[in-house]
Amino acid sequence: MPEFSEKKLELISKKMQSLCDIGFYNDMAWEVGTSCSGKRKIIFKDFLGKSDVRASEDSIWRIFSMTKPIVTIAALKLIEEGKLRLFDHVSRFLPKFKNPKILKIINNNEKYFDTYSPMTIFHLLTHTSGLSYGFLPDNIASIYRSKEILLHSSVSLKDEVENISCCPLLFEPGSKWNYSVSTDILAYIIECAADMELEDVLKSYLFKKIGIKDISFKIDESKILNLMTCYGDVDIFSKDLAIRNTDIFSNNPSLKEVNLYNTYPTNDSKFRRGGHGLFSTLDAYSTFAFFLLQKSNLILSRKSFELMLTDHTKSEMKPLGINNIFKPSPGLDGDGFGLGFRIRGSGSGSLLFGSVGDFGWAGAAETMFFVDPLEEFYVVFMAQNLDQPGASALFKQMIYSSLI
């Protein structure tokens, strides 16, 4: 079992509480745990916030892109059952992806080029599809914003991905790495392959197997008061490009509530996405992280875990670059990417403490989780600030510094 300095853990709580007191966050929660004789053992857990607000066990958080690892597991389960294959062409499910064009800007002019490599399920899982994301500063992202992709929760998942399939690509599938709407495309394909809605797939293939109930695309009316308020300057899914410049070491704390009704609704039974959209309690996601730490066969087979946690990015794709948007995050330097998860490499590029092979992902409002098989612990961190002032990265830095 990993051992942590109690004094340093106390220091973490004090530091995180000070960030709430100053005004960078309204509330936070986290769990650090391990496996002891095959059972989940909580090492360090806390709920804190401003004096009149405290997160609790019942608190519900918008986990944004921490939806992606869960959807990834569902896809891999279908692959295990032979309902999907990594080399399946995306055009099998979305014909408009059969011959997409690549958009390049040459001398300030738009030029379109043919693609030669078919986009596959593997490309979706590894974010090497050539797709983009509306909150990124590239030409395809600006097209997404103009077409209002992911801006309206009333648009069905099928119509959303059909709309995406009409857009050009950034590059030849498989040639580069770019964070994207790939998991939204994957979610639709999961529905086609399983012949059921995404949430039913997640419940059947994952949630029921590991015994979690408090993760869903919808919040029951009886629990709506448990939803934590989300803050930030603008919604990440917006016509405006949201650049994050707030930093916990600056003198400009800001807590402005963000209206997410149109992009992240709480009670729309038809709403579902692959890249975001799930709500979760701390305990529910920590249960998921615990089973990943164990590499439990309730989640995946041994060989599926092996393939999922292999770095599939080529050296010329590195460093994986989304740190230009996620300020003041150190980004993904030093990391590779497996199937749906970032994976810590052996190089010296990372500016965060960690272990070779630690894996996980994070969400836009500064939720974060990772699993460290070498040190044998997992971390789930919850906050709700789209400005991303940097507490989650600081937490990871300090929790590793607390290891004895």
> What CATH number is attached to the domain comprising 267?
3.40.710.10
Decide if 60 is inside a domain: yes
Say what the pLDDT of residue 54 is.
Answer: 80
Please check whether residue 292 is in contact with residue 314, taking contact to mean a CB–CB distance below 8 angstroms: no
* Shared domain check, 250 and 186: no
Report the DSSP beta bridge partners of residue 39: 36
Residue 1 domain flag: no
pLDDT at 16: 97
Domain that holds residue 123: 84-195
Residue matched to tokens 């590239």 = 138
**Is residue 147 situated within a structural domain?**
yes
Are 245 and 309 found together in one domain?
yes
Tell me the CA end-to-end span of the chain in Å, nearest whole number.
11
Are 131 and 100 in contact by the 8 Å Cβ rule? The answer is: no
Least Cα distance to 285 among 2, 66, 48, 51 occurs for 66
Q: CA–CA separation, 193 vs 197, rounded Å?
A: 10
Closest to 244 (Cα-Cα) out of 393, 61, 66: 393
In contact, 382 and 321? CB cutoff 8 Å:
no
CA 333 distance to own-chain centroid: 17
239 shares its domain with 382: yes
Task: Report the 3 state secondary structure along the chain.
Answer: CCCECHHHHHHHHHHHHHHHHHCCCCEEEEEEEEEECCEEEEEEEEEEECCCCCCCCCCEEECHHHHHHHHHHHHHHHHHCCCCCCCCEHHHCCHHHCCCEEEEEECCEEEEEECCCCCEHHHHHHCCCCCCCCCCCCHHHHHHHHCCCCCCCCCCHHHHHHHHHCCCECCCCCCCCCCCCHHHHHHHHHHHHHCCCHHHHHHHHHHHHHCCCCEECCCCHHHHHHECCCECCCCCCCCCCCCCCCCCCCCCCCCCECCCCCCCCCCCCCCCCCCCCCEECHHHHHHHHHHHHHCCCCCCCHHHHHHHCCCCCCHHHCCECCCCCCCCCCCECCEEECCCCEEECCCCCCCCCCCCCCEEEECCCCCEEEEECCCCEEEEEECCECCCCCHHHHHHHHHHHCEC
Q: For residues 402 and 346, which has the higher predicted lDDT (pLDDT)?
A: 402
Q: Are residues 323 and 244 in the same domain?
A: yes
Q: 122 with 188, same domain?
A: yes
* Range among 173-187, 237-251, 344-358 rated most confident: 173-187
Checking if the pLDDT of 76 tops 90, the result is: yes
Residue 236 within a domain: yes
Rounded CA gap, 349 and 333, in Å? 5
Q: Mark whether 172 and 149 lie in a shared domain.
A: yes
Average pLDDT for 174-192: 98
What pLDDT, on the 0 to 100 scale, is given for residue 245? 74
Question: Would you give the distance in Å from CA 377 to the centre of its chain?
Answer: 19
Distance CA 326, CA 388 (A): 7
Grade residue 325 by pLDDT with cuts at 50, 70 and 90. Answer: low
User: pLDDT tens digit string along 138-168?
Assistant: 999 999 999 999 999 999 999 999 999 999 9
Tell me if 185 sits within 8 A of 274, measured CB to CB.
yes
Q: How far, in Å, are 23, 86, 271 from residue 153 at the CA level?
A: 30, 29, 6
Strand order in 61-62's β-sheet? 61-62, 279-280, 215-216
Q: How confident is the model over 57-81, as a mean pLDDT?
A: 98
Task: Based on the fold, state whether residues 272 and 380 are members of the same structural domain.
Answer: yes
Residues 225 and 188 in one domain: no
Q: Of 160, 176, 195, which one is at a domain's C-terminal end?
A: 195
Which of 160, 195, 230 is the last residue before a domain boundary?
A: 195
pLDDT value at position 18?
Answer: 96
C-alpha count within 13 angstroms, C-beta hemisphere, residue 103: 16
Residues 187, 249, single domain; the answer is no
pLDDT band at residue 395 under the 50/70/90 scheme? very high
Q: Total domain count for the chain?
A: 2
Which of 195, 213, 248 finishes a domain? Answer: 195
Same domain? For 60 and 106 the reply is no
Question: Do residues 127 and 179 make contact, with C-beta atoms less than 8 angstroms apart?
Answer: yes
| pLDDT digits 0-9 by tens, 10-54 | 999 999 999 999 999 999 999 999 999 999 999 999 999 987 778
- In whole angstroms, give the CA distance from residue 276 to residue 181: 10
* Residue 359 shares a structural domain with residue 220: yes
Residue 394 corresponds to which tokens in the numbers above?
Answer: 């600081």
> Which pLDDT score is estimated for 194?
98
126 with 174: CB under 8 angstroms?
Answer: no
In a domain, 95, yes or no: yes
Instruction: Decide if 198 contacts 71 (C-beta within 8 A).
Output: yes
At 52, the amino acid letter reads D
Question: Domain check: are 258 and 293 in the same one?
Answer: yes
Per-residue pLDDT tens over the stretch 106-121: 999 999 999 999 999 9
Confidence band of 328 (pLDDT split at 50, 70, 90): low
Tokens of 226: 């448990």
Residue 348 has a pLDDT of 65
Under the banding of pLDDT at 50, 70 and 90, the label for residue 322 is confident
